A and B are shown apart, each in its own frame.
Chain A
């Protein structure tokens, strides 16, 4: 299931004094099964961009195609689009409302008109894949811990069986351990379900570890689009946008400048650990 943006524009508050161009001339193509990271500063248009992917916002210029079909078409079935493209918003735990965890997760499937038994199966599966135990099914979601609430909220979107999963800062506000757990879980779900995942974040570290491709948003425009390597090679440009490469990359660059290692362009902690332990063993 591919997503194509063709010269997409979004103008907020047209004709008022609050008029603002939130997206300018954004074009890209995301293929089936890709793991894409979208990074950018606060107010760079990341959130506006993802809300176009399932038709929550309508573009004021350009076209968006899902699987080759124009989604702004009057005939286009928006309900199916929202099932296929699942968006997990920032702090998704704030959307919980039902009396029990099970009912909350089943909200999406029920809206889609899925038979009860099948919706129940989906609820079990979704909760299992986010690592929430069956014993919590009949507990009020408001009695859970922060991390658990977030998992339940993500399960609520997974239960709709999306083919594209978009997550807006899924690790925001969690401790380092919680961050890793959530991101590992997302990578694991992607592997198992074989779905497209779009991860929105402003943390270079998170993005570098998991995704294959990075899109950089700056001031409403798509500033860069390429593999992790291609994007992090343009360090100066990133810094001009107020972004930076992962800290481990900077550290390894310094070590190389000192002649201690030979490798350049190291973006993840695991790689760095591997190289440095080899060095130490050689001595």
Chain B
């Protein structure tokens, strides 16, 4: 079940989007999200759709995989559309019992649903095409100037990459512990919500213990290899802009400006 969630997952491929500098992808995503909120008309979304389509085609990611990523927000999407559909005042175009559909409502519902979909697909494209380590390296480099204000940029980036790295390990650990407790007769599937929450204690305690143990071991292993923070640390794969990155930057600016000119 947990494995079905594709948001935030990485989809391995060798496409040009995958090879782009993580910083460019990050800037592009931020620009895209801001643009979606700034230019909020139907026409404004046309370039966004085109832009998204172009990236999907270039990134080699199957549409089926992208559609799967929308599944977790399906409920939210329907909820949002229905509320907008029935609760927006305006000229009534259809009426049944206490429900009234207005022209404005119809417009808002479609518009909100489209915007949410564009947002989710656009931002998950970044994680589909960027490995967690590239992503944190990119963010570390982008936020480096904040170091002037004593923001521990390197430390935050390191914590982020370790946290991401440990997600699959802790998931596996949870599965193991749950099985061990089930073998001792633990029941996670029946009873009301309080009973179920209480049934999780035999899982959560060992999980925390093992997380702390692993954290201690990792800290020791890092110290044994002379880790002393970000100062003077070099990278195995330093981030470097290539021609494709400069071209992308120009395209991003072009996209935002283009969106601004739509009616």
Q: A residues within 8 Å of B by Cβ?
A: 51, 54, 56, 79, 82-83, 86-87, 89, 92, 94-97, 107-108, 111-112, 142, 156-157, 160
Which chain A residues lie closer than 8 Å to B180 at the CB level?
87, 89, 92, 94-95
With contacts A51-B179, A89-B176, A142-B209 known, is A160 near B202, CB below 8 A?
Answer: no
A47 to chain B, nearest CB (A): 10
Which chain B residues lie closer than 8 Å to A54 at the CB level?
183
**CB-based contact B201/A107 at 8 Å:** no
**CB-based contact A79/B185 at 8 Å:** yes
With contacts A95-B206, A96-B206 known, is A89 near B179, CB below 8 A?
Answer: yes
**CB-based contact A95/B185 at 8 Å:** no
CA distance A160 to B177 in the complex (A): 18
With contacts A97-B202, A97-B205, A142-B209 known, is A157 near B176, CB below 8 A?
Answer: no
**CB-based contact B186/A111 at 8 Å:** yes
With contacts A94-B210, A97-B202 known, is A82 near B182, CB below 8 A?
Answer: yes
In the assembled complex, B187 has its CB within 8 A of some CB on chain A: yes
Which chain A residues lie closer than 8 Å to B183 at the CB level?
54, 56, 82, 86-87, 89, 157
Which chain A residues lie closer than 8 Å to B209 at the CB level?
94, 97, 142
**CB-based contact A82/B185 at 8 Å:** yes
Which of A97, A108, A142 meets B201, CB within 8 Å?
Answer: A97
CA distance A111 to B181 in the complex (A): 10
In the assembled complex, B233 has its CB within 8 A of some CB on chain A: no
Which chain B residues lie closer than 8 Å to A112 at the CB level?
185
Which chain B residues lie closer than 8 Å to A157 at the CB level?
183-184
| Chain B residue at minimum C-beta to C-beta distance from A107 | B184
Q: List 7 A-B pairs, minimum CB-CB distance, nearest first.
A: A111-B185, A97-B205, A108-B184, A95-B180, A87-B183, A89-B180, A97-B202
Q: B residues within 8 Å of A by Cβ?
A: 176-177, 179-187, 201-202, 205-206, 209-210
Task: Tally inter-chain residue pairs, CB-CB below 8 A.
Answer: 56
CA distance A111 to B186 in the complex (A): 6
The winner among B176, B179, B183, B202 for most chain A CB atoms within 10 A is: B183
Which chain B residues lie closer than 8 Å to A95 at the CB level?
177, 180-181, 184, 202, 206
CA distance A112 to B182 in the complex (A): 11
Which chain A residues lie closer than 8 Å to B176 at the CB level?
89, 94
B236 to chain A, nearest CB (A): 29
CA distance A168 to B183 in the complex (A): 13
| Chain B residue at minimum C-beta to C-beta distance from A89 | B180
CA distance A62 to B187 in the complex (A): 26
CA distance A251 to B206 in the complex (A): 44
B91 to chain A, nearest CB (A): 48
CA distance A128 to B244 in the complex (A): 70
**CB-based contact B182/A56 at 8 Å:** yes
Which chain B residues lie closer than 8 Å to A83 at the CB level?
185
9 contacts between A and B (CB under 8 A): A83-B185, A94-B176, A94-B209, A95-B184, A107-B181, A107-B186, A107-B202, A111-B186, A157-B184
Which chain B residues lie closer than 8 Å to A108 at the CB level?
184-185
CA distance A51 to B178 in the complex (A): 12
Which chain B residues lie closer than 8 Å to A56 at the CB level?
179, 182-183
The winner among A87, A96, A97, A142 for most chain B CB atoms within 10 A is: A97
A72 to chain B, nearest CB (A): 17
| Chain A residue at minimum C-beta to C-beta distance from B203 | A97
| Chain A residue at minimum C-beta to C-beta distance from B210 | A94
CA distance A87 to B185 in the complex (A): 11
A109 to chain B, nearest CB (A): 8
A198 to chain B, nearest CB (A): 13
Which chain A residues lie closer than 8 Å to B186 at the CB level?
107, 111
